[in-house]
Amino acid sequence: MSDALHRSIDGLSRKLAEFTQSFELAQAPAAAIGNAKLAILDCLGVSVLATRQEIGDCLAKFAKGNIGAGNCTVWGMETKTSARDAAFLNGTLAHGLDYDDRNHSTTYTLAASIATAEDT
């Protein structure tokens, strides 16, 4: 990787970290909050529905022999596991029926965010 590209990536990472650290929810527009709430509810609902479908059965069977112990929830299942495994399983459930929200963003971000929060 070139020095210029490395500095550019470092600069972008620093800006993102600074924004994240200083962000207050009150700064977000009401429309963004409303949109986020709908996307989160949609993602959780579709994920729980997926547990009752073929994808959910496959993931439950996979989980029995392949995941570690932990305190993070697998949505719609009576399973607790590590943050890594919960993020993987929940992200798969969220996309399992392909009924994702408008731009699929919660499919990729919500599972990891909630697992990280539960793990701390």
pTM value? Answer: 0.80
Inter-residue contact 70 to 88 (CB < 8 Å)? no
How far from 106 is each of 66, 68, 74, CA to CA, in Å? Answer: 25, 24, 16
Of 106, 60, 63, residue with least CA distance to 84? 63
Residues 82-99 have pLDDT tens digits of: 999 999 999 999 998 887
Q: How confident is the model at residue 108 (pLDDT cuts 50, 70, 90)?
A: confident
Domain boundaries, the chain: 35-119
The pLDDT tens digits of the residues spanning 50-84 come to 999 999 999 999 999 999 899 999 999 999 999 99
**Which amino acid does the sequence have at 5?**
L
Question: Alpha carbon of 1 to those of 14, 15, 16, 59, 101: distances in Å?
Answer: 18, 20, 21, 38, 36
Query: Does the pLDDT at position 28 exceed 90?
Result: yes
User: Token digits for 33?
Assistant: 């909050």
CB 101 within 8 A of CB 114: no
